Amino acid sequence: MPDSFQLEMIVAAEPLRVFSAWMDSREHAAFTGGGEAVVEPWAGGRFIAWDGYIHGILLGVDEGRRIVQTWRTSEFPPESRDSRVVVEFEPVRGGTRVVVRHSDLPPSHVKKYEKGWTEHYLKALARYFAKGGKPTPASRAPETTWGRQPEKPARRPHETSAGKGRKAAARKTVPRKSAAKSAARKERKQRKPARRPSAARRKAGSRRSRR
């Protein structure tokens, strides 16, 4: 199975401008729409994207032209080595050809990451510059083909631990009507006259008194 792929996209902006957006933490988060990003734009700098789902180290930076880095996600098998990404920015009529070469991937992940790069990087980058290339605050990364898990829905008020405690207390509390009935039954028992001794007991008692 192949462990690499190559993709490209034409972006309507100059190479240096596209390179700068890629290497800026705020703009990187803005054009990918994938939550917080940290890009340290020098060799040896950290690369973190999609709220930490993607991370790596920059190995080489040629301003406006080329980026080389390691790359892995939280889905990589522990025994897998880091993959390698090369991004090139070539001047063409109408803007920049962005070329992504990704190699040394776990073979079972290739198709998934190829789709992820296309949808969440190259197409997203083209849309970003088509709309003027203005950074916006990054939001929490959504569930995507990159493999992020959906956020767990917040508990409803009645499902909180406090609510559960109130429910348990309510179950333990005796309803007022039941308590009133119990008190009435107890009172009736107390008011009942003592039972008269039976005829046999009365005869036995009279014989004892004669003796």
CATH number of the domain to which 39 belongs: 3.30.530.20
User: Which ranges in the chain belong to alpha helices (H)?
Assistant: 15-23, 25-32, 110-117, 123-130, 161-172, 176-191, 199-210
Q: Which two tokens stand for residue 117?
A: 């790069």
How far apart CA 58 and CA 71 sit, in angstroms, is: 9
Which residues lie below 8 Å from residue 21, measured CB to CB, with a gap of 6+?
Answer: 13, 27, 28, 31, 125, 128, 129, 133
* Number of domains the chain is built from: 1
- Residue 204's pLDDT band (cuts 50, 70, 90): low
Greater model confidence, 146 or 110? 110
Task: Let me know if residue 12 belongs to a domain.
Answer: yes
For residue 203, being part of any structural domain is answered with no
Q: Considering the chain, what is the average pLDDT of its residues? A: 80
Q: Does residue 117 fall inside a structural domain?
A: yes
The answer to the question of residue 77 being in a domain is yes
Q: Is residue 46 part of a domain?
A: yes
Residues 6+ away with beta carbon under 8 Å from 66: 60, 86, 87, 88, 89
Output the pLDDT for position 2. 84
Residue 18's domain spans which residues? 5-130
| pLDDT confidence of residue 152 | 46
Evaluate whether residue 204 is within a structural domain: no
- pLDDT tens, position by position, 141-190: 444 554 444 444 455 545 545 555 555 555 554 455 555 566 666 666 66
CA gap 23, 168 in Å, rounded: 55
Mean pLDDT of the 53-82 span: 97
What pLDDT score does 138 carry?
46
Angle between helices 25-32 and 123-130 (to 10 degrees): 100
